[in-house]
Amino acid sequence: MEHIIEEEVRNIANIDYGHFLPYYEGKCNRLHYHTSWNISITLKGRMVEGERMLIDFIRVKELVKQTLAEYDHKMILPSYTVKKIENNIVFAEYENRKLELPRDEVVISDKDSTAENIANHIAEMILTRLPPHIFSLILHFGEGVNNYIHAKVERKWL
Among 73, 86, 105, 154, the active-site one is 73
Among 28, 34, 124, 150, the active-site one is 28
Q: Which amino acid makes up residue 96?
A: N
CA distance linking residue 117 with residue 109, whole number of Å: 9
Q: Catalytic residue at 133?
A: no
Q: Catalytic residue at 143?
A: yes
In 47-144, at which residue ranges do the beta strands (DSSP E only) sit?
74-78, 82-86, 89-94, 97-102, 106-109, 134-143
Q: Catalytic residue at 62?
A: no
Among 7, 93, 116, 143, the active-site one is 143
**CA dihedral of 15, 21, 24, 28, whole degrees rounded to 10:** 50
DSSP reduced 3-state for 158: coil
The residues assigned a catalytic role are 28, 73, 143
